[in-house]
Every structure is written in structure tokens, then in C-alpha cells.
Structure 1
Amino acid sequence: MPAAYAAVSRAAEPTANQVLTWTAGDDYMKYTSAPVTAVAGKATIVFDNSAAAGNTTGLSHTLTFDVSNPDYNNDVSLNILSSPFDSEGGRHTAEVTLTPGVYHYFCAMPGHQMMSGELIVTAAPDDDTTAPDASATVAGTKDSSGNYVGSASVTLTASDAESGVAGIEYALDGASYGAYTAPVVVNTVGHHTLTYRATDKAGNTSPAKSVEFTIVATPPQDNTPPDTSATVSGTKDSSGNYVSSATVTVTASDTESGLADIEYALDGASYRAYTAPVEVNTVGHHTLTYRATDKAGNTSPAKSVEFTIVATPPQDNTPPDTSATVSGTKDSSGNYVSSATVTVTASDTESGLADIEYALDGASYRAYTAPVEVNTVGHHTLTYRATDKAGNTSPAKSVEFTIVAAPPQDRTPPQVSASVSGTKNDSGDYVGSATVTVTASDTDSGVARIEYSLDGGPYLQYSAPVVIDRAGSHAFLYRATDKAGNTSTPQSLSLTIVDSKPPTYCPETDDRSTVFVGSINTGVPNRVTTNGCTINELIEDHRAWDNHGTFVSHVGDIVTTLRKEGVLDQREAAEIKKAAGHSDIGMPSHGPAGH
């Protein structure tokens, strides 16, 4: 078994409250089955790649949870390699603890990366103390004063990120609440108030909100006929006559009751329904008359356009011009690697192009409808020709090219290294700041990206040397990934920064190892932020607060900023916000927070 994958032993009996099962088989593009949702808490992961589950070829797969992407939960490190021929027969289990959010999973076997998906984990209903968010929109036809003409439709929506929405209720103009099942249509003239609220599956009900709107009566009947116009298109000669045919397009509009139909009459014939542009191809002078009627029964005055059609000029005896280009990835000898694409073009300035044909390596001609991709190794000749609408066929031309096999697949991760620069003191510590420069190389597919993590934080994209200016000891991890998807083993370096200037002022001093909100320990590391203060020092929960909501809003602003700066990941930010909501800081009975 490769050292990069760790086998997970099958448990005798699952002990978690929920069992989540993934299955794999002969397909390397997707898992045979996979769960979509789960509830936060303990879970038994089952990965079944056995013959009984459908693997008839002995193909190996993995179930790997992504812990490198800060946009997903990364608190479950799971990497199960399974084969029908391993000691477990291809069926493995693992016990994990899931937290609310989204997990990204995939198969890490080379060439199997299309096998991926997302697992959405919601909070257990008993933990949900937050009411749903509810909103309303009013739709309908408005007049110039913003009132709704004739009627208005109120659409209610609600969302709950924890236990989910159970139902929505509404009350119109002070009546009793009723269940909301579809948009509410109100057609009584006057001013209206619609009050609404939502309840989640944990029983939390949102504060009542309302929307106000006014309905006015429909304006008087439409007595104005539609506006109409017409345009003539086609190929003209030097005298402005249309060659062979002309197309008349009629348009009409009505801003009051709306358009009902359009009619036309050609050269004095009876009116008929206009449903599409009218093509006229009879040589001579023509008059097309048209009119339109709106939904109120008003018909516009008849209008007309005149035009002349002349016969097509003498026959085309000149074949089309043709050319071809070959594109693709070339090696140093000019051969195409794996495949080549031949694009054939043709033009005819007289009668116009009818079709293009091609023949590959002496086979019969076939219709050319799109660039031809050739992926067979060897020397090739593609012959091509074109025919115009007058029946003239161009002389056959050809292009020659050679295709060679693609080199072996890249399975070697990049080489990565880092260096530290800065001013050192006699003890070897860096004074004021240090700059870490990371370099990587890959001689096969090439380097795709470099990432780094500082002091246990999430991995971030490396785009320029990293300056560290916070006094203290620091741990710096770094790694690189090539274009074939191979990621190097993370490497690390340690360094110490000593102050070269007075310390940064912070609202309070708090260097506890984890973030506390009041007496609640979130378990999130109390990291140093970009302005030199720790997370606890920025929260400063022991000072007097006007109310609990002000404190919760203050914490929300801080974690949003730290999330954007990469100091916190999604899960850590959510933990701190949740602790702020559960704390009693800012409530009347709350005194100064102790440390």
C-alpha cells in the first residue's frame, strides 16, 4: 500500500448516532453513491469499494476529506484507500465528529480527481436558538406614483441555517395569522399592511415584520391604436433594387392594453396574419401594406412599403477559395503531442459557399462541420475541398502532420524550499521583522501553486515573500502543488522575532492560549492578528456594553475582518460568533468579565 494513503480498519459495530456510506465501483469519474447531508455530531463513515458493492475490476479508490481549502470545513482528516483485494475486502469504516458547515471530499488516486462532492452538515435541532430570517417582496404593475394598479402579489421567503424553516405565517390588514403556502394576491383598492413571521424546526419564531403598499383602480380603457413600422432587407444592386428576393419585417407596439395581432397584404391581396418576416422573390415592383390591432380592439391606420426585385445576375463559374490550419501542442521536433486539430476554411464571393468536405489518410470524403481532431499516433494527410451554391468545386488541397504519443504522466510532487532574511541579533533572533521567501520547481508538469500556514492558521496562497513582524516565536509551514495535482509534503521552519520598537497598543492584555468570550472557551487558538493584538485583546469583553446586541455585533465585525485576513477559517469564525450569542455579556445582570 502506498505510504501516502492510510488504511482505516473496519469497526466491529458502528458506535456513532448516524452512519454515512460512500460506495465506489468500476467508474473513475464519480462515486457510485454518496450522502448529501448530515447532522453535526459523531458519525460512522463507511467506504465500500468491495466486489459486492459493484467493483468488478479491482480498481482502487480513496475517500479523502479536503483539509486544505479554507472555504470548507477542514476539521476532519480522513483518507481511506480501498481495494476489493485488501485485507478488509474493500469495505472500511471510520469514526469522526462532524461540525456544522460544508465538507469537500474527493478521490486522491491519480486520474480519479473527478470523483468529488460536498457534504452539508447542519446543526442539531436542539442546539438551534436562532430564529429564521424572513423577508417579503411586493410585485405588480406600478403607476408613476409607485402605487400598484389593479392588484399586487406579496411573496414571502425565509431561511434558517441551523435546524431549517418549519413554516411561514402572514396576516393582512390586522386579521389573524394564516399559513403562507403561495404568493398572496391583494386586489382591493386602498392602503394595505401585510405582517409576516417564520418559525424554524427548533421552535424559534422570528420577530414580526411587515410591508405596506397601496392599490389603485385600473385606469380608463385604451382608445389609442398601436404604433407600427416596417423594414425591407436583402441584397441590393447598385440601383437599390433587391436581387432575387427581399424580406419585409413588420413591428408594432402598444403601451396601454398591449398588442393583439399584426396583418399584412401584398400587392393588393387580402389581409392575412403576420407571424414572421415576409419573403418576396417574384421579380417586379411590390407594395406591402400592414396594420396592427391592440387588445382593446383599436386598429392602426394602414401603412405600406414599396420595393423592386430584379433577377439574379449571370451564373457563378468560379470555385471557392480554401485553406487549412493545424493546431495543437508541439514537441521540439515540430510533431503534435497526443492530438492535432485541423481547421478548414472556405469562402465564395459570388454565389456563396454550399459545403466543405475532407478525407483523412485516403478515406472517402465526408462533410466538414467542425474542426477535425486527430489523435492516432503516426503521420497523417488530410485532403479538403469546397463547393459553392452554383456547383463549382475547388481543386483538392492537403495538409500533412505527425502525431506522437504523450510523455509519461507526472506523478512526482514539486521540490520546495524556503529561506529567511532579515537583521539578526547576537542570539540569532530577527530584529523587528523577518521575510520568508518560498520557491518551488517541477521539471515534469510545472508548478501550479505554493501555499503557506503561519502559526497554525489555515493554508493561504503564496504570491510574494511573507513578512513576519510580530515579536515572539513563529512556526511557518509551506508546500507546493504541480499542474498534475501532486502536492509536496509540508515542510516547516521556526524563527523568533524580537521588538525593535515599543510594543503595539492593544485594548487590553490577554495572551491566553484559546479565545474566550466571557466564560465560554471556544477552543479556537488565540492567535496574534495583523495589527499586533491577540483575538481576545480585540474582543475586549470585560468593558461595559450598552446591551447584548451591541456586543454580539462588535464580535461579528471582528471575526468578519479576521476571516478576510486569513487569521480565522470559516469554522473558527462561526464558533466565536456562536459563543458571543450564547454569552450574557451586555445583559443587565452581567458584570465585568473575569479572566
Structure 2
Amino acid sequence: MRFFIYLIVFLTGAVCLAQNRPTHFTDSTGALYWRKSTPVYLFVSDAPDGDKERLKSKATAQYADPFYLDTEGVNYIRSRNAVDPETKRVIPDSEVMFEIYADGIAPVTSVSYENVNKFQGDLLYYKAGVNVSLEAKDQLSGVRKLEYAINDGKYTPYQKPLTFQDPGIYKVEYYSEDEVGNVEDKKSISFVVDPTPPYSDLTINGITEDEVISTGSKLYILALDSISGVASVYYKFDDQPFKKYNGLQLPTAQLEEGEHTITYYAEDKVKNVEEHKSFTFFLDKSAPLMVADVLGDRFIVMDEVYFSGRTKLKLTAVDNKVGVKEVMYSVDNEEFKKYEKPFYLPSVSGVHLIKYYSVDNLDNSTADSKNSRYIGQGGFEEFKHNVNKFYVDLTGPVINHSIGNYTFTRSDTLFIGPYSKIKLTGTDPESGFKSIAYSLGSDVGEELYTEPFTLTREGFNTLNYYGYDNVNNRNIAKFTFYLDATAPNIFIQFNTGNTDSREGKLVYPITSGIFLSATDKTSGVNSVTYSLDDAPFKPYAGLISGMKKGKHTLVVKAKDFLNNEAVKEVTFHIK
């Protein structure tokens, strides 16, 4: 009699609808691929469209209804000997074999990049126009779909490389699924797109309104880039070749006295290049007579002076011949007035222009009027004069925080755990960022921040943190969170009662199985794994059964979504 065997898998309707994943797949050659974790039921019939009878096993009933494919790749459902379809004679040393390919391994997706100009700092930066390509590969049944989402948006089927032009921080999540429903764990890449060139500015300490400088004047180039950062600055005098700027004072002393032009530009760390800028000046090789000093909070970067609203400016004049009669100064192009003692600059953030000059005791010229005493015929232009730029910084730095590893938000409440790392950052575009400190709740004092840290105080907490710039301006920020440091509760339940006890351990019949569960009242259970008799730990997926007679030890681990872990062990006998 001829029989036909059908392979059929049954899943609960709720799971199938929720996941919408296939369990098996037949390719163009007729090869059947089966998700390895899916049960298999066998049916037999005496005709292709005849009535089917479900095939059961008496010898191995505990493994056969249903049974599972045990080998990754090809598996065989076979007879002991083949029978000739015509003669019905048994053909020794031959078998009838039905091939079925077990596929329990999810696809793997790789990422590649094109048009890459990148820089790796605290974040990964790319120049605008970077293309991100995804490619998924599967060893057996083949890839069914590959999907991605950008910045927590909707998942979309991947069809072609993704191009990023606009500035911003991007997070690309992706995963693939094979033809039998094995799903790859979601992965992600994060990066910043920088489409804009940096900005550079020429700073000159010691210049007249007519763009005249001396060998005592100090020229610097300040370059800023708000995204990937400045990589290099280049400059040249007149028709000389461009040179890389080393951040020090520009070498004007090597120039001839007269008119010169400096050309400069900046390049950021992803190769965005600024347009060339230029400035023309006259070099007077006579040295200045005046110096300015800062009294109080100050910070100097390449002779660029920053100070707070609590700081004063002091002027000093030196004359080796007849001595100094008086010193005059002007703030932000106001009228000149006599300098008598150190003075405060205006309480307005930003650059302030300080002009000053001195008159010797020969009183070489007279004023045309009261308001232009040394700016008439002779006077001001006959003396050595200076122009300095000072930056008044009245505001503290911009500070922020981020939390990495094991964190989530629920109902507007931030949850973290003892493995969550808190990172504090600060920036200050004026005098520059100096330091950051923090305190927890109502704790007294501040802890200096040096690197990402963890906390252990369970419950609702508030973290206060404080940023300081280089002239000691201060900003304060805080955030509130709930810290969960409690591991889940584990429950181990046998599906039969015990029949006896042996060596102080309970004895259960051989038909027994074990159910596992865990609860976590705060963050929820993320995973449950177990090890039976020192076997490698594996995820719990349903009733644990098929245990042989003898003594067994079961170790169960449960983790919540904040990586808090509980371990429970039970030893028992199977009779």
C-alpha cells in the first residue's frame, strides 16, 4: 500500500497574527525549510488527496507528538528499507528518505559606507552625502526581508543605500528575517552629519583704526566648528604658499615694513573647507609703549583674554626718556578719557574694544578743542598707541547629561539601574569649559566629575550638576529618576506533585515537567534562562520535560530590563 506523509506545523493563532512570521518555506527546487524551534506533526494517507491519519509513536511518545528537528541543516524522515513500487519487494541496504532542512539561525546584516569623510570623537561624524548600505545574508532558507528605521521612526523595507545630507544626529536601527521566520536581533548605528564648514576669524591685539600694526601687535586665528570640530587652519602672507597654522602668534616680524595681506581659512574634521578670507594691514615696526593687565577672574587662550564681570583692566605706560604725563583710554569707541585707576568693562557679554595711548612730559602738542585734546593736529597720532580686544564672559557654560546602558522611560518617569552609566558634558563658546561637579539629592557638597559613573541609591532621586567656565561663571541643572536595584523573583513549578523524598530532596515521577516564571515589580522581566545538570544556559521557551531517572540540579537566572539578575537553584530526583 502506498502512503503519503504530510509535514504540518500548528501554532496558536494569537502568536501567528501578532508576529506574522512564516514557519516554513519551499524553494524553487522543492527543498523544504523549517524553522527549527517550530514543532512538527506527521500525517499519513494512501493517496495525495485522501483522508489523513495522524501518526503517533508508542515507543517514544514523549518526544514524538509533536517532535522537533534536532540538526541544523538537512534532516531525514526515513524508512528502514526501500520497497520497489511495482514489485513490492524489499530492496536491502536502501532507504526511503524525505529531506527537510532545519533552519534555526537568524540572518546577519552588515553595514557599509560610501562617500565617507568621517571623524571618530565622542560621536561618529560624517560629511554630508554619506551613503549607508545594508546587506543581509542567511545560511539556509534565505533572507525574506530587511527593514530599517531612522531616529525611532517607522520601520521601512530596505531597497537602496540611505543618503544623509541634512545636519543632525541620526540613529539607524535595522534587522532582517529569513524565509522561515527567524528574526535577527535589532542592531543600530549612530552618527552625526556635518554639512557646514568651520568659521575662522583673525584676532589682532594692537591695531589702529587705519589697520596699522607694529611688531608688538599679536595676530591669532580663532577657528570654530559647532559639529565635528576644527581639524586644521591655513594661512599665508601676500603671495607666499599656504602654511598650516600652529595656534601660536603669527610671525609678522619676518615681514618687511609696509602693506601686507594675510589670507586664511579653516577645515573641519570631515573635510568641509571654509572659503578663503583676507585682511590687509600696514606693518609699522616701531614697538608700542602701552601694556594692559587683567585683575581678577581671567583666562587666556593664545593671548585672547577672557574675563568676568568681576574683573578689572589695568593700564600701564612706560617711557625711558622723559616719563609719562598721562594715559588716555576709550571703551567701545566712546570718547577718550583720562585713566586714573583699574576699571570695569561694560556688563555686556561679548568682545569689547579698548583703545589707549600715553602722552609724555614734553607736552608736544595742544588740543584743538576740549573733546579732542590729543586727536587734533599732532597729538594722538604722534604717540605710540594700542588697540586690544577683551572678551567679557557673563554666562556660565551649557551643561547636559546622558545615560548609557540599561535605561528606559515609562509614564514620564526615567528608570535607571546600578549598571546605568551617567555622563555629564559641558561646553562654553566664550572663555571655555573648565569643570563639572554633581551632588545627589540633598547631599552636602559637590563631587568633581571625571568620568561616567553609576549610582546605587534605590528609589526616586534627583541628581544636581554644576558647570564652571574658565572665569568661574556657574550654571546648574538637574534631572529626576527612579533607581531600581532589585532583581526579579523567580518561580519554579513542577506540573506534577512529588511522590517521595530522597536525601532531603523531593522525588517526582518521570512524566514530570517544569514550568519557570519570574516577576519584577518595577522595571519588568527581560529574560529567563536555565541550566539543567551543568548544561550551558539557554532561554526558557516552555515546559522543561524529558528528564531521565536520577538526581538533577536546575539553575535558573532572571534579568530585568536594568540588568538586575536573580539566581535560583533546585535539586530533585526523577523516579
Q: TM-score range by the shorter chain?
A: under 0.3
Q: TM-score of the superposition, structure 2-length normalised?
A: 0.24
- Write 1 or 2 for the structure with the bigger share of strand: 2
Q: TM-score of the superposition, structure 1-length normalised?
A: 0.23
Name the larger-Rg structure. 2
